[in-house]
Amino acid sequence: MPDVTIFDRLRIERLVWSLDQQLYDLPRAQRLANRREVRANLLEAAHDVGTTEALRRVGGSRQLAEQYLVAEFGDGPRPSWIGAIYAAALLPLLLNFFLSEAANAFESGVTAADPQATGVYVWSGVSGLQSAITYTFSDGAASHHGGAWTPLTYALWLLLIVGAGRLWRLRLRRRPALAAS
Amino acid sequence: MTDTHDPQLLKGVLSLLLLHLLAEHESYGYEVVQRLQAAGFADVLEGSVYPALTRLQREGRLATRLVPSTSGPARKYYRLTPAGREALASGTDSWARHISAVDTVLSRPLPASAEGS
């Protein structure tokens, strides 16, 4: 019976962790249960046939994850809720970062031209994506307001969420069920 | 029993095999794989058995319980539910009909020209 060393345990944990990362579309309790079961079975298999053979028989984390997802959601294309969540959370951060940088660039341009600038300046913002930004300068010190997202920006955000999560597949998946009923 | 099986055929009957093995007595995942291999399905991979067990559990055909193990983490034992027994009975009937229909076709004599080609 082969011994399972610390290194073997790490190899098994790597597969379990890698599998877990690909199962974020499953409920948390289900992921935990899968993780525990795969770990327990792999450890026993490693004791029997060695870690390398045990890992080979499982067939890799990607393949195993796919099988678990098929077991949960059935065959065919499926949406990715985790993709949609990432898109919903990260896109506003990225977009606001770039819009903020653009607004700062305008402000820097004004103070570069006149370090003691005083008055009100209006920049139309990134075309289509945000409303106009009004800068109020006083001896080179600026404050600004405006620059909100336009309806088009919100629409693009929703579109990217749908794209990243492949959410149109929800509709595709419902069709066979309707046909069967 | 042959050493290898058509993966597509095996995929179709894996659930039925699992239900039957677990109807004999409850087992945990790795033990089920060993029993399948001992029955001649040496090429069955754990990677297809564990998700199949999960699917059967989700469908209400298997129930589970955790049993502490002296050699490692607790083992998840699977056993049949009443729904699982019904699925096994209907699956066994369906399989018998399937074999009978296939045998009927395969037992027909082939024309002489087909044998020669």
A54 contacts in chain B (CB < 8 Å): 46
Nearest CA in chain B to A58: B47
Residues B76, B93: Cα–Cα separation, whole Å: 29
Return d(Cα B66, Cα B28) in angstroms, integer. 9
What does the pLDDT look like over A18-33, one tens digit per residue? 999 989 888 888 899 8
> Which residue range(s) make up the domain with B67?
7-106
DSSP code at position A135: E
Among B37, B18, B54, B87, residue whose Cα is nearest residue A66: B54
Q: Are residues A69 and A15 in the same domain?
A: yes
Highest mean pLDDT among A8-17, A52-61, A77-86, A141-150: A8-17
The gap between the terminal CA atoms of chain A, to the nearest Å, is 53
Give the global pTM. 0.67
Identify the domain containing residue A107 by its residue range: 96-149
| Assigned domain for A84 exists | no
Query: Strands B27-28 and A133-138: what pairing?
Result: unpaired
| Cβ–Cβ under 8 Å, residues B72 and B97 | no
**In sequence order, what DSSP letters do the residues of B33-95 get, joined into one string?**
HHHHHHTT-TT--HHHHHHHHHHHHHTTSEEEEEEEETTEEEEEEEEE-HHHHHHHHHHHHHH
CA B3 – CA B12 distance, rounded (Å): 18
pLDDT tens, position by position, A97-111: 999 999 899 989 988
Instruction: Tokens for A89, please give them.
Output: 């959370």
Structural element, H or E, at residue A119: strand A119-123
Q: What does DSSP assign to residue A59?
A: T
Using the predicted structure, report yes or no on whether residue B115 has a pLDDT greater than 70: no
Confidence label for A178 from pLDDT (cuts 50, 70 and 90): very low
Q: What pLDDT sits at residue B12?
A: 78
Residues of A with CB under 8 A from a CB of B: 30, 33-34, 36-41, 43-45, 47, 54, 57-60, 63-64, 67-68, 70-72
Look at chain A and report how many structural domains it folds into: 2
Helix (H) or strand (E) holding A141: strand A141-146
Q: What is the mean pLDDT of residues A107-129?
A: 89
Cβ of A47 within 8 Å of Cβ of B55? The answer is no
- Asked if residue A63 is part of any domain, the answer here is yes
Residue type, position B4, single letter: T
Cα distance from B68 to chain A (closest Cα, Å)?
11
Round the average pLDDT of chain B to a whole number and report it.
Answer: 87
H helix or E strand, kind and range, residue A166? none
A181 located within any domain: no
Please list every residue in chain B whose beta carbon sits closer than 8 Å to the beta carbon of residue A37.
29, 50, 76
DSSP state of A134: E
Please tell me whether residues A15 and A69 are part of one structural domain. Answer: yes
How far apart are the C-alpha atoms of A98 and A95, rounded to whole Å?
Answer: 5
Q: Is B41 within the bounds of a domain?
A: yes
Please indicate whether, in this complex, the C-beta atoms of B75 and A40 are within 8 angstroms of each other: yes
Mean pLDDT of all residues belonging to chain A: 87
Tell me whether residues A37 and B69 touch, CB distance under 8 A: no
Summarize pLDDT for B10-48 with one digit per residue, the tens.
777 899 999 999 999 999 999 999 999 899 888 888 888
Q: How many domains does chain B have?
A: 1
Chain B residues with at least one Cβ partner in A under 8 Å = 28-30, 33, 45-48, 50-52, 54-55, 58, 69, 71-76
- pLDDT above 70: residue A1: no
Q: Please give the residue of chain A at the shortest CA–CA distance from B77.
A: A37
Let me know whether A104 and A65 are in one domain: no
CATH number, domain with residue B56: 1.10.10.10
Please state, as a whole number, how many other Cβ atoms lie within 10 Å of the Cβ of residue A102: 17
